Structure 1
């Protein structure tokens, strides 16, 4: 056995740089690895595990690794497992380790670590081990109940219940991320209120701060009640996991001591993205010089808006000092970039210059990749947005022509609006694209129309959504009718605007307005229908409005249905589903609708209705949440995604359009605490920058000038995060980087011009051999936007060509039918004619009845079905159709209950096996009376899976495939010796009833959840009673399953 550098590099299969080896072989003490972009941090982390094991300093399962996503945890676990197995084959592992069963490190996400603490020790806080983790929809529903039931005086705050519910959830998250109790925040608010009320006079900002502080004080009480309601319901949410875990280790120091003994070494990945509460939890457990290695890069800290604190990695040496008297923890830099070409790295270093000035321990990147040549940086500034989009398409086509494929090209942008425009232009040229993320999904026309219907169903005051429907392709109200509607609105009869204090009116609207109190367009429509003759509306408009209101009224009767069911109902009722299935975009529409259903299923899992879903949609749109979590599509297509989503990825060619003022860097400032009650004041933050916590100066009343200075300092801090995002975007590129912007936006009356980062790229290109393709001069003073001057919007909008073609075909068939005449003149008398006609009608009914009896019944496969239902469809389509046509109750079977109990027991074993002995749990288990279950449990212990650590257990999924959503739950997922993953399904019975289709679905689902190719996923049935493991030789792929779903 050898723990030398030679042995480690032999197992790795390549050499480590000196800086990497220094980080890998650092002493057993706290340390920070500042890993620059593309510097191989995952290699270093897995090599750290290998070195510790080869040196005999720790067994693999004594090493704790924490990261942020299940995908990252799975990749790190797979890589370390592969290295350890390779070391074993080379005879390098310590004696006896191969047979000890301790062959895997304990790698999970930060939240899973906190969740395990709660399961194991939550009883100390009165929390049951099986406490439900609330999904977002259920969480919002519970908060709404708290707001409705509270005895706090909310009416005087001038906020609507919906606004307060959103504020409670936001404030609860913020307090939890900062390790703050509502009582501490209330104390601050009361103090601020008392100080402001004591001042003899207040400027406008002082009055706003006072109003905000009063609302924040109420929110403190509501958050307290919300947390009590969760405790009463034996439920927690995502933010509670870290907060309550921290409460446990504070109240019971022996828990922390147990964990320190259990894990002598700790690796913390992506440490720059941890929150203050996560950092304090780790300090409480692994302080006092415990060997903790934090790996991260402050220059890639782009999630401060989501609660992350870049101060965690900046101040790591102080937060985790060496043992008493030994000083702060050391830093080990990794700066050799193995991804990007030298020119790209040189530019990245230029952009990161101001970041290095504020983040200690960050050095410029060095080029270590030799296979990409010098690389190429191209910059352009265009006169208009349209010219830029056309140029981007040309650039993409040029790159693809040079490399012979579309794959490897990525368009990254700050906003989804930029991506949607570029995506549409690429598609018009026939270039294959994949737009990643919810923001892009919600821009797809059929999804946008569906969302508008859902918003109108949910909220009678959803005027923008209703306008979209009224002016859309289906209802097509003309300009005269819209003007008539507008003239009927109470808002049309306003006082003279010159007599209104606009600033005061705007402030009142922001601070105290409730949309429900304003007259809505829906009310105006109802009034117009009731007073049709006096409305000024055309007869056609009255007919269409009547049909629309009746349709919305019918749909509102089903508003309490599960969201996925309601979506299917809307598609059927409105005809959107039929329209989406026709024309050249049918396949894209089917995928978009399936993704939307999947998003609805995930967002409302565990409860929550339409209102909660729509609220979560707005968050997903803002934060660009993906319908498929970590899924990044593969295939020969150009990828389009936001710069945030691209973090952790790499592409041969990166295009960054829209690098304009107020776009990138963004001109949208964050909400700030003086005027937003759900934002925590800076002086309550544990690591607040001094310039921000200095406002207000309690020595004088808050002044507008002081507040403007505070806003400017806040903008400077936000600019640093924008710079980090630009650095992340630039360092995704391997071979070429293309950056562009424009002067005139698509609809702006003022010029945009180059943003700060585009100007820096331009300056760099001038002096460093970059390509300046075009640099349009600034428009002269007084110039107007050509896009606005030349824009001619047809009204009403022309019909969609595909829709028009279908309507013409149907009209032609109707005219042809009307033209048919009888072959002979009917000469019967009137009485005889009536009698014969009745006979004909009766004969027709009898023939139709006979035809229907003989004809096969067409039963549509549901849009949303379980894995079990899909298996029944594959096994016997006719029986499945009969079941759909006439559902019958199923007889309960004892074996089903036994299987359910076995699955629950196995899940419990994996949940707690790291901290408790299995036999201790057996003694306390209340299922021992069931002899058959006891026999199955003993049989499970004899399987090879009992001693392995799963990557996931009872993992729910919603797989969008073939235009439908297939749901299920994967029993367990394990890593394998060859670096693959294996999905496993436990069976309590025998071989009867096994379906390879079940494993095929699980395999496809895990591929999407983990973001890995399906070819790297194996699948197996485990017959627990006999210990037999059945691995099918071949399984259906996605195309096969789609053919099954679509009856082909």
Structure 2
């Protein structure tokens, strides 16, 4: 028997009188107070069953809905508690009815007992069992982990795509590749069909989405092992015959031409067939499909093409061609059978293997929560009893969106005794793409103890309610599927402000149908949709003008843009409406169900991050810069392309420098990402490149900036969970394919009071004063996506059970396709219902024909027309041959009357821009900040402490502390304005391979720092690798001729530095590698550092003054020390400086270095490093003493450090100093907030 063949008769629900036992299904039509009734049932269960707040299970399907239910139920309990305490119901009908029934004279409770139970529930309401379905399953499993064979501790993952793909890749390697190696034809077929691990992953994902669907393989046959060889033999025979007889066949067909059909076998078609056979044999693939043109020369085709009374041309090749066609088809069938056999094996083993890998790795996805609880309930009956005792009653909200697995869980726990209330509206079941299964609702209804309906619409005016009743009762099978009926509703007594439209040009109902032109004036589909959008925009503009004049209002309040919604079905339709509204000067905002990963900006983000990952790859870089994010024109991109490869030699120096500046910029972003994380990098990139400012200049600027910020937020969350550039890029690519989850849904781009453009899916549960539906007449039904691989047909059988049918023959495929179309159309009808029931006061609907593929058939068979004109027909007949335009027009006219008016679509009008609604004379401006505002607590470094110095010199704004780079020449990587020009003659230019001609700038400084970090000073053979590694990790800008010399320069630099005697008796080349520490990071608290006192302390001890900001630093000081070395039991701080000070030894002499140290406040940096080392050693050396163990600091200006360069008797480029102990102790105390 069909699960939906005998629906129970539904009774109108009296929520205060219905029994509280058994399994009850409540159909809550749109606007009938579903949440109000759930609250009433909750209160009755709490009072009459004496249950606690933690004993009544309330389940819904989204976090937002859970939060709303929690708040509404708690608020209702608080109102009731107040009423019982004061004896006043406040005119609330809910409390009035409760006092009349449950708490009345004939009720089960006295008010005092009821008040105690209500107060008890309120005290414990933080433990109320109001959950999403996944949260409930997680709690149930945590209480009984052994029953589900789950670990006590596990990591929750929203998506298991990476693990699924890993499993698919393993299966491909171990099972598919050996089969392909055994059958070369199968290998070719796999390649041509686009098969791969991704195809296996798709099959598994669908299976996991529908775990209880029946897998049917009745059309799958065993592969014919001889088919491939037979096709090869037939191909060889046909090829030999063709080579010998081709000309004879041509001559034969010329003679037979008059006897052949001149449409299918005209001379040109025969010539094409001959050429197709020649090309087919030339390619040599025996199992390749025969070209369509070649099939005209099979005997079957020639017999069919022979005119009546004519003689069919005879040749042995025609029979061989027939045989070859059959052999190729048999070989194709064998390959498909092999693939399906592998798919069957895969779907049999993969779910269990995936679950096992997750257990091993202690990972659980959201879907696993449901599956694990389902299996645990079936394996351990005691678990259902435990949960039933834990939750004696349950209310399931939005039950129409459930699936077989979810219902099976609740059915196992609560049926048949209950009380279990299944609340939902099957007419609003519109989420099949999330695996919601309406047939589950219908099957549950057949098993329910009682079925109820809510029949009073409190949302809409009587006119709208009446119009919807007329609309959906025109066709007894409006919703296509058996068992899904429309119950008339009546308008409630809700008091609402009246809608006044004094500018309405003529008499018309509040439910307005605009008909597109038919006959000779029928429009193409795209033009029809454009005109529909224009008509809606013109009407919205009229309403807005009237509202500003006080003629269009809700009560005494003018109608606002936010009271109006335009409902669309796709993001593309929404974009069309948004553009049209903009031409009328009407602001709008989109609220859509689409994923942010499906937007163009998601693709651009992927390109930009790929370019950051490999900044030296100019192809990636150009792909990223081609976006409108960066504002480059085609000419700039073309010049960059000329700079790629050998052509770069001929490019101008300016163009080359421009390209390399982008390479350096993206290299810096890569470094920021690696060292500071994605968020810091992204904030720096968007600020420096002014992306938001550029995009906001466009018409859709708010939308795009919202999407980009949303994408960045999701990317940051992923990068925090799994750091690294490569994993983040893989995740982003997967999200763009899969679409992401609920958190990826497009966000509202503005909170201003604007016209709402909302997808029908997103509008569910919302209401709007005025609703426009311009595209409900779209009759296009989606065909299953074409695939070269054999795939399953998805449908529901006659019993309402979900089926995945593999290996369908033609008849079964046709049945499955027709059933899928039927289900798709049924959901389209439910979408129409959701759309039309959003309106409170007025609804506009566009109907009528349009042209698609030069026919109106698609528009005529639309579900909108089916609702009005489909009575008395089967839906299959409707799909095959919908009524003509005249019949449809008559049906629409018959619907007119009362609140429904049918009129032609208003003629296109020239857009008249709506004037801005604010007072332009009042321009608001923020007051200019005159001082730097600091957070009470912050993270500081040498770079941020001295940032004011650099800003004063450069005249730039402050940079937030957390966006400054580590202290690698952060403020001094560029050369000073002038070199040290001494009294003697100007020095000659250095040789081309000297480190003095190494590029300058921030990137160059980072590169040289990286060089010394990678170099093993005692192993010269490692230096070339270190140079190449530094150039790879920290690319620098250089013209090709210079770039080729950089590695040699860098190797020579290391050799010069390590062989130079830095202080008497110490060379880096002689140091034990075990006594060297690179890039030591430090972080110590500075709870109350007085910056002015710090300046005074430096001056008092003979150090130059430093320009620091006034005030206190409360927070932490952090940094990185380039290198610490131990020599003769004493520790030196070594800092690499790449500053270009000149080209002579004296330019790097003591006087020059003193000036450079002072100009860039390096002495403050050195003192901070000394304090850090002082604290570090004090905590690690038992006998630590500053005078004994601290040798001092060495600041090496490496371009001038060479064994043979000296100035004033000292090694050039070496600044050595040891701070006094008294100064270090004073700094140490000052950092802790004490006095120096």
TM-score between both structures, scaled by the size of structure 2: 0.50
Match of 1:954 in 2: none
> For the Cα contact (< 8 Å) 1:52–1:58, is it kept in 2?
yes
Out of 597, 615, 639, which is 2:734 matched to? 615
1:943-958 → structure 2 map (5 Å cutoff): none
**d(CA) in 1 for partners of 2:134 and 2:83?**
36
> For the Cα contact (< 8 Å) 1:413–1:642, is it kept in 2?
yes
Out of 954, 958, 962, which is 1:858 matched to? 958
Is 1:657 aligned with 2:774? yes
Is 1:774 aligned with 2:904? yes
Task: Write out per-residue CA displacement over residues 393-437 of structure 1, whole angstroms, 9 at most, x where no aligned residue.
Answer: 112223333233111111111110110121123234332222124
**d(CA) in 2 for partners of 1:658 and 1:87?**
45
1:588-607 → structure 2 map (5 Å cutoff): 590-601=705-716, 606-607=721-722
**d(CA) in 1 for partners of 2:820 and 2:699?**
48
**d(CA) in 1 for partners of 2:574 and 2:743?**
12
Q: CA deviation at 1:656?
A: 1.8
Unmatched 5+ stretches in structure 2: 1-9, 85-110, 181-186, 228-326, 500-508, 518-522, 869-888, 908-945, 965-1086, 1092-1108, 1122-1236
- Secondary structure of the residue that 1:740 maps to in structure 2? strand
**d(CA) in 2 for partners of 1:236 and 1:271?**
25
> For the Cα contact (< 8 Å) 2:396–2:421, is it kept in 1?
yes
Q: CA deviation at 1:220?
A: 5.1
Is 1:429 aligned with 2:584? yes
Unmatched 5+ stretches in structure 1: 1-16, 322-327, 483-524, 778-845, 865-871, 890-1048
**d(CA) in 2 for partners of 1:145 and 1:560?**
26
Task: Write out per-residue CA displacement over residues 967-993 of structure 1, whole angstroms, 9 at most, x where no aligned residue.
Answer: xxxxxxxxxxxxxxxxxxxxxxxxxxx
> For the Cα contact (< 8 Å) 1:475–1:544, is it kept in 2?
no
Is 1:417 aligned with 2:565? no
> For the Cα contact (< 8 Å) 2:399–2:424, is it kept in 1?
yes
Is 1:140 aligned with 2:161? yes
Match of 1:273 in 2: 401
Is 1:397 aligned with 2:503? no
Structure 1 residues 259 and 219: CA distance shift in structure 2, 3 A? closer
Out of 455, 465, 477, which is 2:634 matched to? 477
- Secondary structure of the residue that 2:130 maps to in structure 1? strand
Max Rg structure: 2
Is 1:31 aligned with 2:24? yes
Match of 1:192 in 2: 220
Of residues 75-84 and 380-389 in structure 1, the stretch that sits farther from structure 2 once superposed is 380-389
> For the Cα contact (< 8 Å) 1:647–1:728, is it kept in 2?
yes
Structure 1 residues 84 and 22: CA distance shift in structure 2, 3 A? closer
Structure 1 residues 423 and 586: CA distance shift in structure 2, 3 A? closer
Q: CA deviation at 1:236?
A: 0.1
Match of 2:532 in 1: 388
Structure 1 residues 764 and 365: CA distance shift in structure 2, 3 A? farther
Is 1:127 aligned with 2:143? no
1:88-487 → structure 2 map (5 Å cutoff): 88-91=81-84, 92=111, 94=113, 96-98=116-118, 100=120, 104=125, 105-136=128-159, 139-147=160-168, 152-155=174-177, 156=180, 158=190, 171-180=203-212, 192=220, 194=222, 202=330, 208=336, 211=339, 214-215=342-343, 217-218=345-346, 221-318=349-446, 321=447, 329-340=449-460, 341-346=464-469, 348-350=471-473, 353-356=476-479, 358-360=481-483, 362-369=485-492, 375-381=510-516, 383=523, 384=527, 385-400=529-544, 401=547, 402-403=552-553, 404=558, 405-437=560-592, 439=594, 449-450=604-605, 452-454=607-609, 470=626, 474-477=631-634
- Secondary structure of the residue that 2:151 maps to in structure 1? coil
Structure 1 residues 578 and 73: CA distance shift in structure 2, 3 A? closer
> For the Cα contact (< 8 Å) 1:659–1:755, is it kept in 2?
no
Q: CA deviation at 1:266?
A: 1.3
Match of 2:832 in 1: 726
**d(CA) in 2 for partners of 1:742 and 1:883?**
69
Is 1:667 aligned with 2:781? yes
> For the Cα contact (< 8 Å) 1:65–1:268, is it kept in 2?
yes
- Secondary structure of the residue that 2:150 maps to in structure 1? coil
Structure 1 residues 361 and 475: CA distance shift in structure 2, 3 A? closer
Structure 1 residues 352 and 633: CA distance shift in structure 2, 3 A? farther
Task: Write out per-residue CA displacement over residues 40-76 of structure 1, whole angstroms, 9 at most, x where no aligned residue.
Answer: 1111111112223343454443321111112222222
> For the Cα contact (< 8 Å) 2:23–2:416, is it kept in 1?
no
- Secondary structure of the residue that 1:358 maps to in structure 2? coil
Match of 1:44 in 2: 37
Structure 1 residues 263 and 203: CA distance shift in structure 2, 3 A? same
> For the Cα contact (< 8 Å) 1:604–1:613, is it kept in 2?
no
> For the Cα contact (< 8 Å) 2:22–2:418, is it kept in 1?
yes
**d(CA) in 2 for partners of 1:622 and 1:381?**
38
> For the Cα contact (< 8 Å) 2:846–2:905, is it kept in 1?
no
> For the Cα contact (< 8 Å) 1:135–1:604, is it kept in 2?
no
> For the Cα contact (< 8 Å) 1:335–1:363, is it kept in 2?
no
Structure 1 residues 49 and 577: CA distance shift in structure 2, 3 A? closer
CA RMSD, Structure 1 to Structure 2 (Å): 5.3
**d(CA) in 2 for partners of 1:543 and 1:161?**
46
The count of aligned residue pairs is 725
**d(CA) in 2 for partners of 1:446 and 1:279?**
39
- Secondary structure of the residue that 2:145 maps to in structure 1? helix
Structure 1 residues 539 and 269: CA distance shift in structure 2, 3 A? same
- Secondary structure of the residue that 2:514 maps to in structure 1? strand
Structure 1 residues 100 and 881: CA distance shift in structure 2, 3 A? same
Match of 1:756 in 2: 862
> For the Cα contact (< 8 Å) 1:388–1:740, is it kept in 2?
yes
